[in-house]
């Protein structure tokens, strides 16, 4: 599945024109620009390693002014750019296509201000997700969205993808926590969106979050911080059958409980974890493990956990383990949080899919997804945000086997179709990027995609920001919308 | 025009003359009021208006036609009154799909059967339609814990100003497929198109819903208590402060009042009530009975939605005293009774005027609003004229200037509504 998208050898890269290089070097300094072919290999892919291409150059600006200056230089030369955080994305969104340069925000990692009383922070996009929570912790606060890659991924990347995480069941995704942005548009204009006080126009912050770098670059981000809950109750319920675990999730929600997280891993994932350094002492003969976490005021929390435990037992759980302290809690979470990393032991390559279905359809959809993998002779693992109905079917394969690669692609598309037909969608948190452009037609009509083209053109009329992402290529090429026609009344 | 509209929606659902004149938009009567039954009919009406260059004002029950900027022109008021079904409700998913004309009250009644609810309590919630609430991004005291409509809307169907039917977002609680155009439509006040249905995220109804009131002759001790609640990080669902005149109507106590509301299990709310009580110190305080609490919250909501003049002043949560002071001086200057309500945890103060209004001329009104607004904006705040009699409303900008991003907003409006059919001039673009 290595797709030929651009140069795969540094020697094939078309260097930037000397005048552009000189201007960029003048703006960013020698240390702010990477053109050495060997060093560029590092940037050939993001977390979805099936797609690789080497960028022409990597820019490492510091501060909004440098970003704007660099983008203006590129815009004058008609050279596109791709914003990049830590490169942990899973949709090929940070790949430099169409002769683009990478604009790395890695050096913009300052926490500009943190207001513990109003519970807000203003940060640069390169701040690593977990670092913000660490900085807020002494004030009894934390940043809620917690993607599994939170130890590495940046908030800028989270904003681009509208990232989620296990705890968004109760606390919401990135867009629920971002209140203001300073952005640089693809022509170099600096614009402030949102901010304090009540809205004075359209919700441009909400629109910009999740735009995957195709509207421009966020250079300063205002976020809300939440109080660290007084108490946390974490449990792990072990089920003989995946189906029972999925039904337990629906039942917990239906009975009016609102856990902070409801996460499932299947037997394959448990085996992988138990064979790794993160072994949590789980039996490897169970069909599924359901992690349940409640957070909030201490009073009443244990009682809620008891109710959830009862539901699990009624639905046939073999046992429900309850963490008695922070250490045990962490161990219970290993089964979920380290499962993806532990997969690496099982096959040379893994493809993690991302789709969402209504919670009540989980058991049926899981059965269908499993059947699809079996039909195509593929090894499948499941670990997912069950409370949100957010599936991550993970296919194990070997990319040197061309026939297997072909079957992975066919099966992936079939799984997406099943999820959409169940009333769901094709991505809950990884984004469309490059990987899912062609799946957009499963959920959106031409008219809807044309409207998205028009909206993108408002920010990015020349296609210079993260070209060829999010929308199927033919859609925008064919469409000349009302915004472009500039119809007069 | 009337004949064409009747052909689309049926003779019985186009009103003109006297009936139409009751649907005035900021004092301007439309030529016709139409009530389509389906989104296809809405699309046909808008395509027709687009072709003829007519202006269309969206409405539900017609509650909010006197709010916003003065209209540039209005030919048709399009009411969603015939589109009011709860279309799809799957309790196990905690989501619902509802037509735009459904009232919040009607929706909540349906959800109550399954012990669920939509965690929004905007002013006037009994009559307001879901379409209007989403379109205006209206929220009430519960915003402290549950946010505003942008946090509850998972997807919606929109008919754009030129009559294209768009399904934006989805029905699932997590969705990052394509651009989040839903966020753009929520709070756009009908300037991009007509919302015909909305998919919403629901919450389980709590076993226990308690309200605790603390009374004080002065605002000061209550401001301290509100700050202390914040400091202690009490997980409250609402924290509302009322001035004596408004409190007299809502709680029958003619004193400054701080209302703590908590939802949760019996054990959780019991504990929080105790901690809230400790904050009141020696001040008079009481646990409201369920009836008294219901009365307080619904009376407050009604007072706000019925107010002939409603101003919203905001700054950071920690600037609450400053915002209140600004509200005092604004009331004094305009000769208004001090009828104030504050979302004390969010730094938002509402001036909730009642009839009869003192006679204020529009020039003085404009000067007072402009001055208070710049005072607030200097502290990163805002002032919104949420409702005003037409002659005063016409004298001011309801929201203040959106700044340089207004150019982007204008271009976005053009992508949805190229010929400015939808509510022209009624919002910032």
Summarised one tens digit per residue, pLDDT across range A92-103 is: 999 999 999 999
| Secondary structure (3-state) at A240 | coil
Q: What is the pLDDT of residue A3?
A: 47
* Ordered strands of the A288-296 beta sheet: A317-322, A231-239, A288-296, A261-266, A379-384, A393-397, A349-352
Summarised one tens digit per residue, pLDDT across range B345-380 is: 999 999 999 999 999 899 999 999 999 999 999 999
Q: Quick check: B385 contacting A, CB < 8 Å? A: no
Mean pLDDT value of segment A27-45: 92
Q: What is the pLDDT of residue A474?
A: 87
Q: What is the pLDDT of residue A190?
A: 98
Of A253, A424, A447, the CB nearest to B92: A253
Residue A284 clears pLDDT 70, i.e. is over it: yes
CB of B192 closer than 8 Å to CB of A455? no
Residue A483 clears pLDDT 70, i.e. is over it: no
Q: What is the pLDDT of residue A481?
A: 62
Looking at A10-19, A337-346, B233-242, which range is the least confident one?
A337-346
Contact between chains at A489 and B95 (C-beta distance less than 8 A): no
CB of A75 closer than 8 Å to CB of A464? yes
Q: Which pLDDT band, with edges at 50, 70 and 90, does A488 fall under? A: very low
Which residues make Cβ contacts (< 8 Å) with residue B286, sequence separation at least 6? B212, B213
CB atoms closer than 10 angstroms to residue B251: 23
Q: Which pLDDT band, with edges at 50, 70 and 90, does A135 fall under? A: very high
Contact between chains at A118 and B186 (C-beta distance less than 8 A): no
Contact between chains at A197 and B382 (C-beta distance less than 8 A): yes
Please spell the DSSP secondary structure of A249-318, one letter per residue: HHHHHHTT---SEEEEEEHHHHHHHHTSTT-----TT-SEEEEEEEEE-STTHHHHHHHHHHHHHHTTEE
**Residue ranges of chain B whose pLDDT lies below 70:** 125-126
Closest approach of B429 to chain A, Cα-based (Å): 8
Of A168, A356, A482, the CB nearest to B172: A356
Residues of B with CB below 8 A from A222's CB?
Answer: none
Q: Quick check: A160 contacting B, CB < 8 Å? A: no
Q: What is the pLDDT of residue A6?
A: 79
Summarised one tens digit per residue, pLDDT across range A168-188 is: 888 999 999 999 999 999 999
Please state the three-class secondary structure of B163-183 as a single string. Answer: CCEEEEECCCCCCCCCCCHHH
Pair of tokens at residue A89: 């994305």
Note which residues in 417-476 of chain A have CB less than 8 A from chain B. 423-432, 436, 440, 443-445, 447-449, 451-452, 454-459, 470-471
Q: How far is CA B151 from CA A24, B101, B193, in A?
A: 41, 20, 20
Check residue B72 and report its DSSP letter.
S
CB atoms closer than 10 angstroms to residue A489: 8
Contact between chains at B172 and A423 (C-beta distance less than 8 A): yes
Q: What is the pLDDT of residue A482?
A: 57
Residue A487 clears pLDDT 70, i.e. is over it: no
Closest approach of A389 to chain B, Cα-based (Å): 8
Q: Which pLDDT band, with edges at 50, 70 and 90, does A300 fall under? A: confident
Contact between chains at A454 and B415 (C-beta distance less than 8 A): yes
Contact between chains at A197 and B377 (C-beta distance less than 8 A): yes
**A:B CB pairs within 8 Å:** 256
Contact between chains at B167 and A201 (C-beta distance less than 8 A): no
Mutate to test the interface with A, among B151, B155, B174 (most CBs of A within 10 A): B174
Whose CA is closest to B373, among B314, B418, B319? B314
């Amino acid at each position: 599945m290595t797709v030929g998208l651009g140069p795969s050898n540094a020697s094939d890269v078309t260097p930037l024109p000397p005048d552009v290089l000189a201007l960029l070097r003048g703006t960013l300094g020698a240390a702010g620009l990477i053109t050495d072919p060997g060093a560029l290999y590092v940037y050939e892919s993001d977390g979805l390693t099936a797609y690789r291409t080497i960028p022409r150059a990597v820019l490492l600006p510091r501060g909004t002014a440098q970003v704007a200056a660099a983008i203006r230089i590129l815009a004058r030369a008609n050279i596109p750019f791709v914003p990049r955080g830590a490169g942990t994305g899973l949709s090929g969104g940070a790949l430099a296509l169409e002769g683009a340069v990478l604009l790395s925000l890695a050096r913009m990692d300052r926490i500009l201000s943190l207001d513990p009383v109003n519970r807000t922070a203003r940060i640069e996009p390169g701040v690593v997700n977990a670092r913000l929570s660490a900085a807020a912790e002494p004030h009894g606060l934390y940043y809620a969205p917690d993607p599994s890659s939170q130890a590495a991924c940046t908030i800028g990347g989270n904003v681009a993808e509208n990232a989620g995480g296990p705890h968004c069941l109760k606390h919401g995704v990135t867009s629920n926590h971002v209140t203001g942005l300073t952005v640089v548009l693809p022509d170099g204009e600096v614009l402030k969106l949102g901010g304090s006080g009540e809205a004075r126009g359209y919700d441009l912050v909400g629109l910009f979050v999740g735009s995957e770098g195709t509207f421009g670059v966020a250079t300063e981000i205002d976020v809300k911080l939440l109080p660290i809950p007084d108490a946390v109750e974490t449990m792990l319920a072990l089920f003989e059958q995946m189906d029972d675990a999925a039904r337990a999730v629906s039942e917990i929600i239906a009975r009016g409980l609102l856990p902070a997280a409801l996460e499932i891993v299947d037997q394959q994932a448990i085996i992988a974890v138990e064979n790794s350094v993160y072994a949590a002492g789980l039996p490897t003969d169970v069909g599924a493990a359901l992690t349940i976490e409640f957070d909030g005021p201490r009073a009443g929390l244990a009682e809620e956990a008891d109710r959830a435990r009862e539901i699990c037992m009624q639905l046939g759980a073999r046992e429900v383990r309850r963490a008695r302290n922070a250490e045990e809690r962490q161990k219970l979470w290993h089964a979920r949080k380290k499962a993806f990393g532990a997969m690496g032991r099982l096959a040379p390559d893994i493809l993690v899919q991302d789709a969402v279905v209504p919670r009540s359809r989980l058991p049926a959809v899981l059965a269908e997804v499993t059947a699809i993998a079996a039909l195509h002779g593929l090894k499948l693992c499941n670990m997912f945000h069950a409370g949100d109905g957010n599936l991550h079917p993970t296919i194990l394969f070997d990319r040197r086997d061309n026939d297997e690669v072909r079957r992975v692609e066919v099966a992936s598309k079939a799984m997406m179709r099943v999820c959409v037909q169940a009333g769901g969608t094709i991505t809950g948190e990884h984004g469309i990027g490059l990987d899912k452009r062609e799946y957009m037609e499963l959920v959106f009509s031409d008219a809807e995609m044309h409207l998205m083209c028009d909206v993108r053109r408002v920010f990015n009329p020349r296609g210079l920001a993260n070209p060829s992402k999010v929308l199927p290529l033919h859609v925008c090429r064919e469409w000349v919308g009302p915004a472009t026609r500039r119809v007069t009344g | 025009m009337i004949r064409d509209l009747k052909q689309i929606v049926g003779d019985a659902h186009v009103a003109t003359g006297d009936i139409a004149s009751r649907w005035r938009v900021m004092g301007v009567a439309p030529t016709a009021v139409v009530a389509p039954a389906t989104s296809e009919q809405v699309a046909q009406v808008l395509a027709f208006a687009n072709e003829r260059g007519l202006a269309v004002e969206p409405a539900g029950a017609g509650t909010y036609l006197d709010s916003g900027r003065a209209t540039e022109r209005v030919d048709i008021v399009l009411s969603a009154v015939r589109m009011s079904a709860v279309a799809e409700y799957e309790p196990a998913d905690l989501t619902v799909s509802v037509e735009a004309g459904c009232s919040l009250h009607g929706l909540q009644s349906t959800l109550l059967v399954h012990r669920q609810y939509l965690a929004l309590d905007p002013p006037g919630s009994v009559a307001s339609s879901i379409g209007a609430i989403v379109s205006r991004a209206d929220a009430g005291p519960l915003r402290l814990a549950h946010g505003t409509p942008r946090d509850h809307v998972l997807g919606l169907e929109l008919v754009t100003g030129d009559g294209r039917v768009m399904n934006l977002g989805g029905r699932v609680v997590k969705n990052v497929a394509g651009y989040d155009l839903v966020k753009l439509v929520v709070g756009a006040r009908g300037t991009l198109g007509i919302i015909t249905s909305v998919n919403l995220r629901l919450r389980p109804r709590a076993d226990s819903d308690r309200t605790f009131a603390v009374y004080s002759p002065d605002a000061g001790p209550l401001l301290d208590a509100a700050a202390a609640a914040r400091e202690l990080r009490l997980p409250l669902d609402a924290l509302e402060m009322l001035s004596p005149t408004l409190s007299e109507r809502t709680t029958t106590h003619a004193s400054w009042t701080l209302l703590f509301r908590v939802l949760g299990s019996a054990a959780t709310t019991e504990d929080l009530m105790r901690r809230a009580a400790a904050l009141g110190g020696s001040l008079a305080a009481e646990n409201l009975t369920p009836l008294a609490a219901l009365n307080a919250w619904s009376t407050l909501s009604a007072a706000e939605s019925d107010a002939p003049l409603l101003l919203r002043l905001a700054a950071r949560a920690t600037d609450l005293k400053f915002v209140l002071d600004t509200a005092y001086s604004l009331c004094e200057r305009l000769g208004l009774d001090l009828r104030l309500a504050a979302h004390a945890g969010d730094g938002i103060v509402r001036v909730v005027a009642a009839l009869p209004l003192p006679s204020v001329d529009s020039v003085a009104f404009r000067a007072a609003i402009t001055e208070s607004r710049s005072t607030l904006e200097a502290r990163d705040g805002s002032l919104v004229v949420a409702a005003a009699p037409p002659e005063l409303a016409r004298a001011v900008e309801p929201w203040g200037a959106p700044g340089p991003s207004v150019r982007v907003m204008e271009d976005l409006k053009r992508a949805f509504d190229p010929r400015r059919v939808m509510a022209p001039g009624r919002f910032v673009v």
